[in-house]
A and B are shown apart, each in its own frame.
Chain A
C-alpha cells in the first residue's frame, strides 16, 4: 500500500472506489446505485468546469469568508515552553466551523443537478446548521437528521437550523447519535432519491461523498500553505499539523496540500475522541485499533464487536462521537503518513480551559481534542518546531455542556 505523489488523495482510489485496495468503496443498496452514479458523473464534470470553480471560489470568499486567519498562540506557547503553537482559526468561517465548505459545495451541486430538496445528517449540529444555511442561501428545501441525544446536548445549533427554515428529524433508534442519524438519512435518500440530493456531513459514506467533502474542505490547506509561506518566508523545517478526527473532514482539508511532504518535515497528527477516562467506550477506531468493517456504505476501521455489530461510542464531543472514520484516514494510517492518537473527555476539557484562559480563542470540544495533544507534546519539542492546530469549530454550541462540566457560564 503506497501513497502516490502529485495526485490528490481523494483521487487515489481504484475503479471500485477503494483506497489502498481495501478502504472505501460503495456498499450501497441497489436503489442508490443509479443516483450515486449520476452524482459521480456530475461531480466529475463540475470539478473540471471553470465556471463552477469560479462560482465556488466566489462563495468561499464572499459567503464563507475565506481566508480564515492563521495566528500564533504566543501566551500559550510561552507558558508551555518548547514548540511554537499556532492556530488556523477555521471557526471564523461563516456559521462557525469548517462544515460550511462541504455544505456550500453540496448546495451548488444540488442546484446544478436541478434538485430542489437537500437532506443531511449531523452530530454536533454544525453540518446540519451549515447545510440549513446553504439551503436557505440557494433556495433549497432542507431536512436534517439528528440523533435525539445530540439534539439535547447541542441545542444552540438546533435553534439555528430551525431559524434557517430547515426541518430537523429526530432519530430515536440505536444510540440516538450521529451513527443513527447517518443511517436514517441514507434510508430517507433510498426512498426519495428521485428528487432529493443527499449531503453526507463528513469524508465518510460511499466513495463519492468522501471525494466531494474532501474536495470542499481542502480549501483550508490551500489557504494555510499561502499563509505559512507568507509568515515564515518559506515552509519551516519542522511542522506538526494537529487536527481532531471524527469522520475526518476537517483533518483531510487541513492536510491535503501537505501530504506529499516527508513526514519528518511535516508531520500529520490526528486526534480521536478517547471518551471519558474511566469508560471502556470511545470513538477512536484508528488509534485504538478497531478492525476493518463496513459502515454506511464504506469499508474503514470501525468500532464493532466480533459479529460485525456496530459498537456504541461515547464522547463529550458530539462531532467526534462516531464509530467509523473516513477511508482516506485509514489509508493515511496504514501508509504511516499520518499518526493517530486520542484524547479523553477530561483532557479535551482541560485543553479548552487552558486555551481560553490564555488566548482569544474559543475552540469547541472537537478541536479541544487536538489542542490537548498540542499541549501534551509542545513542551518536549524544540523552539523551531511549528505546531499548527486546526481550530475548526466554535464553542458556542457547547455552552450547556461546558456549563455543566466546568461550572461557570461562558
Chain B
C-alpha cells in the first residue's frame, strides 16, 4: 500500500507538533444537505472526518449519538445517501480522509464485498465497525486492506495485554483507543493523566502506529489529552446539532464555531 491519506495526515500533524483533530457526525443529521454543509464547513479545522452511518439499535452509543442517528433515519437517510454524502465531500476536499463508522448489520445486509467496493468508489479512506471485534474482524479487515481501505481496530481499557499485541500487529494505519468504560458521550470519568499513562503503554508496543483517543472528549477535556496522536470528538458535536435545532439556530455555524474552538485548544 502506498502511504495512505490517513498516514500522510498524521505525518503532517506530527510535524506541526499537535494531535490530529477527528470529528464524528452522523451522515444525514439532520438532513442530507445540512450534514454535507456541516462537513464542508468544519473541514477547515479538522484533519480526519468520521462519518457515522445511522443504525437504530446502536449498542455502544450514548444518548447524543442515538438522537442524531434516529433523526437521520427518520429523515429517510439510506445507506446509499451516506455514500453520496461522503463522495460529494471528497470531491471538494480531496485531501481530507473520511472514515465511515457504524454497525455490522448494515454492512452485512449490503453485502461485505459490495460495501467495500462502494467505499472504494466513494473514495472512503477507512472503516470502523463497532460490533465486529478482533479476531472475528480479520477476514473483513484483510478484504478492506486489499482495496486500500484502512480498517480501524478499536482497543479499550479492558483489552488484555496479549490481545493488544495481536491487535496492534494486525492493525492498519490507525488504531482507536477508547478512553474509558463507557458508551459514546459519557462524562470523562478517568483522569486524563491516567488515560495518557495507559495510552503511552500501548504506544510503546509500536511507536509507528497512529493511535487516536475517543469517548468523553469535549471542549473541556481536549487540551489535557493533546499528547495523543489524534483526538476524536463526536457526541459534543451531535449535541450541538440537537441544540441548534431546538433553538432554531443554524447548525452549520454553531458546529463550526465549536470545532474551531476545539482546534484552538490543541494548536501549538
- Chain A: residues with CB nearer than 8 A to chain B? 16, 25-35, 173-174, 179-180, 183, 186-187, 190-194, 291-297, 299, 302, 304, 306-310
The minimal Cβ–Cβ distance linking A324 to chain B, given in whole angstroms, is 10
Closest 4 CB pairs of A and B: A308-B109, A34-B158, A294-B105, A31-B156
A residues within 8 A CB of B66? 173
Interface contact B181-A306, CB-CB below 8 Å: no
Nearest residue (CB) in A for B78 is: A307
Contact of B131 among A29, A180, A187 (CB under 8 A): A29
With contacts A30-B156, A30-B178 known, is A310 near B57, CB below 8 A?
yes
Smallest beta-carbon distance A72→chain B, Å? 43
CA distance A33 to B167 in the complex (A): 13
Q: Indicate if the CB atoms of B109 and A293 lie closer than 8 Å.
A: yes
A28 to B58, CA, bound (A): 11
If A30-B159, A174-B56, A294-B131 touch, does A190 touch B181 (CB 8 Å cutoff)?
yes
Compute how far the CA of A144 lies from the CA of B14 in the bound complex, rounded to whole angstroms. Answer: 47
Chain A residue numbers with a CB within 8 Å of B79 are 307-308
CB of B105 within 8 A of CB of A308, answer: yes
Query: B160–A34 contact, CB under 8 A?
Result: yes
Q: Does B188 reach chain A (CB closer than 8 Å)?
A: no
Interface residues, chain B, CB within 8 Å of chain A?
55-62, 66, 70, 73, 78-79, 103-106, 108-110, 130-134, 136, 154-160, 163, 178, 181-183, 186
Complex interface: chain A residues within 8 A of B134 (CB): 30, 33
Beyond A27-B104, A294-B105, 15 additional contacts (C-beta under 8 Å) are A26-B133, A26-B136, A28-B131, A33-B156, A174-B57, A190-B60, A191-B182, A191-B183, A293-B105, A294-B108, A296-B59, A307-B110, A308-B79, A309-B106, A310-B57
Measured CB to CB, the closest approach of chain A to B189, in angstroms, equals 9
Are the C-beta atoms of B182 and A190 separated by less than 8 Å? yes
Where chain B touches its partner, the secondary structure class is loop
CA distance A174 to B158 in the complex (A): 29
Q: Which of the residues B56, B109, B131, B178 comes within 8 Å of A297, measured between beta carbons?
A: B131
Interface centre among A32, A34, A187 (most CB of B within 10 A): A187
Q: Which chain A positions have C-beta within 8 A of B163?
A: 33-34
Q: Given contacts A31-B181, A194-B181, A309-B73, are A293 and B108 in contact (CB under 8 A)?
A: yes
Determine how close the nearest CB of chain B comes to the CB of A185; give it in whole angstroms. Answer: 9
What are 7 A-B interface contacts by the 8 Å CB criterion? A25-B136, A30-B178, A33-B156, A34-B158, A173-B66, A297-B59, A307-B78
In the complex with contacts A25-B136, A191-B181, A295-B105, A31-B62 CB distance below 8 A: no
The listed residue (A33, A183, A307, A308) touching B59 by CB distance below 8 A is A183
| Cβ A186 vs Cβ B178 within 8 A | no
Q: Least Cβ distance of B110 to chain A in Å?
A: 7
- Residues of chain B lying within 8 A (CB to CB) of residue A309: 55-56, 73, 106
User: In the bound complex, do residue A295 and residue B156 qualify as a contact, i.e. CB atoms below 8 Å apart?
Assistant: no
- Given known contacts A29-B154, A30-B178, A291-B109, A187 and B56 CB-to-CB distance under 8 angstroms: no
Cβ–Cβ contact B154 & A30, under 8 A? yes
Chain B neighbourhood of A194, CB < 8 A: 158, 181
Q: Contact: B178 with A306, CB < 8 Å?
A: no
Contacts of B62 in A (CB 8 A): 187
User: How distant is the Cα of A297 from the Cα of B133 in the complex, in angstroms?
Assistant: 11
Q: Are A308 and B106 in contact (CB under 8 A)?
A: yes
B108 touches A193 (CB 8 A): no
Give Cα A224–Cα B131 distance, bound, in whole angstroms.
39
In the complex, A306 Cα to B62 Cα: how many Å? 25
What are the residues of chain A within 8 A of B160 when measuring CB–CB?
34
- Whole-angstrom distance from the CB of B90 to the nearest CB of chain A? 22
**Chain A min CB distance to B232 (Å):** 15
